[in-house]
Structure 1
Amino acid sequence: MAVTDVAIDRIKEMILSGALLPGGKLPREVDLAAQLGVSRNSLREAVRALSLVRILEVRQGDGTYVSSLEPEVLLDALGFLLEFHQDASVLDFFGVRRILEPAATGLAATRLDQPGLLALRKEAEAGAAADSVADLVEHDLRFHSMIAAGSHNPVLAAVLDSLAMPTSRARVWRGLAEENAFARTVNEHAAILQALEARDAELASARALTHIAGVEDWLRRL
């Protein structure tokens, strides 16, 4: 298990045990990192991931707090997963991505220049080397943004970038909750990159569709 995931689990245990109460403030970063036995960088990654799913709330200049959680949510944070099921808007965002992103990826296969492909490969490799779900999601966001920009259609790229953040929390949850989601994401990025490097627009588009639809399907099954 990655060190960041250890930090996430230990913070969760503190909430469940009552050591951290809903609405309560976390100890100073240096003190909490020592208490959990992790580095401050790993703790920051854990806080960032838990903030994305609203378990923690970072208040600039004040500190980090536990969100106001219902008791059943504290058991396994299932309430946040149910929130996605109850609010269909995030599925609407994925639906639009599923339509537009394969088209952008197909365009990028014919329009990305060699320096652009090299930069995309470096980003994919950085994502594969990520040591936490939050880190991988950041690389995932950049990977897709670079492909959208590679379509050389600034309007299409801008629309896709605007859709990225509303779906980022679902990506984090999938990484935390679904077995092998981390490896699947890395492998699917590699497959998309391979098609782009081969200048195969049809294959690149199909692989992008499979990648986006996989997260959407997981979310629907909740």
Structure 2
Amino acid sequence: MAVTDEAILKIKDMILSGEIKPRDKLPPEKELSERLGLSRSSLREAVKALEVIRVLDVRRGDGTYVTSLEPRLLLEAMTFITDLHTDSSILELFAVRRILEPAAAALAAVRMSAAELATLRALVELVNESTDVEGLVTADIRFHGAIAAASGNAYLASLIDSLSSHTMRARIWRGLTQEHSVERTLAEHKAIADALEEHDAELAQALTIVHISGIEQWLRDAVTTA
């Protein structure tokens, strides 16, 4: 194992054991390197790596702190990766959405509160046959985000939010080129909301699969014929 990797694991163990907690300040570099049995240069490299993935926050002139470790923050590295996707790999992003979002819908069907359901219904009502493509896609992202949030799993919700926002371009493309996309999306959203209101996890999951698969299949056909 590389010395830097060992240093990263030792800092990770300190966090997992509760020796240092979210938002805690790390001991001074000299003290920490001696405690962990590491060279100061190895410790610095480990700190740099953990800063990149938002586990540590290096504040010049102040010290190094553990971040809040919230899911949204820790998943920013994945957001960076999805920013770099190519047109062909967008299909893979939709495939991941097809796996994660139905699971979130099933969880939301069990856990969604009346207030959350009312919010979801309001998002559905914002869309009608006169809604333009950009408005439709924005509403679609908010709709899926509300369901993911209602799943009660913050990590799952953050993953879905990242994936969903990075498929916006493909969804706008579909809206501009496919007939009746607004009506179809609206009908599918209403059906999913109905299933959630009935707390029918299996139906909510199945309808979400159909909803996302429709976009995925359209994109697959578009890429093949392009």
What band does the TM-score fall into relative to the shorter chain?
0.5 to 0.7
Q: Note if contact 2:131-2:182 (Cα within 8 Å) is conserved in structure 1.
A: no
Which residue number corresponds to residue 26 of structure 1?
none
Q: Note if contact 2:124-2:186 (Cα within 8 Å) is conserved in structure 1.
A: yes
Q: Which runs of 4+ in 1 moved over 2 A?
A: 127-131
Paired residues, what number?
A: 137
TM-score by length of 2: 0.59
With over 3 angstroms needed to count, the CA separation of the structure-2 counterparts of 1:130 and 1:158, relative to structure 1, is farther
Q: Deviations over 1:27-66 (max 9, x none)?
A: xxxxxxxxxxxxxxxxxxxxxxxxxxxxxxxxxxxxxxxx
The AA in structure 2 aligned to 1:189 is H
Aligned-pair RMSD on alpha carbons? 1.2
Which residue number corresponds to residue 206 of structure 2?
206
Q: Note if contact 2:105-2:151 (Cα within 8 Å) is conserved in structure 1.
A: yes
Q: Looking at CA atoms only, which structure, 1 or 2, has the larger radius of gyration?
A: 2
Q: Note if contact 1:130-1:136 (Cα within 8 Å) is conserved in structure 2.
A: no
Task: State the alpha-carbon separation in 2 of the partners of residues 149 and 203 from structure 1.
Answer: 19
Task: State the alpha-carbon separation in 2 of the partners of residues 98 and 169 from structure 1.
Answer: 17
Task: State the alpha-carbon separation in 2 of the partners of residues 87 and 142 from structure 1.
Answer: 23
Task: State the alpha-carbon separation in 2 of the partners of residues 196 and 132 from structure 1.
Answer: 26
Percent sequence identity over matched residues? 50
TM-score by length of 1: 0.60
Task: State the alpha-carbon separation in 2 of the partners of residues 97 and 202 from structure 1.
Answer: 17
Residue segments in structure 2 that go unaligned for 5+ positions in a row: 1-85
Task: State the alpha-carbon separation in 2 of the partners of residues 89 and 166 from structure 1.
Answer: 11
1:141-156 equivalence runs, <5 A: 141-156=141-156
With over 3 angstroms needed to count, the CA separation of the structure-2 counterparts of 1:210 and 1:202, relative to structure 1, is same
Task: State the alpha-carbon separation in 2 of the partners of residues 94 and 177 from structure 1.
Answer: 18
Query: Secondary structure at 1:131's aligned position in 2?
Result: coil
Task: State the alpha-carbon separation in 1 of the partners of residues 166 and 91 from structure 2.
Answer: 10
Shift of 1:166: 1.5
Which residue number corresponds to residue 42 of structure 1?
none
Which residue number corresponds to residue 10 of structure 2?
none
Bigger RCO (CA 8 Å, 6+ sep): 1
Task: State the alpha-carbon separation in 2 of the partners of residues 130 and 202 from structure 1.
Answer: 32
Q: Note if contact 1:127-1:140 (Cα within 8 Å) is conserved in structure 2.
A: no
Which residue number corresponds to residue 111 of structure 2?
111
Query: Secondary structure at 1:118's aligned position in 2?
Result: helix
Which residue number corresponds to residue 175 of structure 2?
175
Residue segments in structure 1 that go unaligned for 5+ positions in a row: 1-85
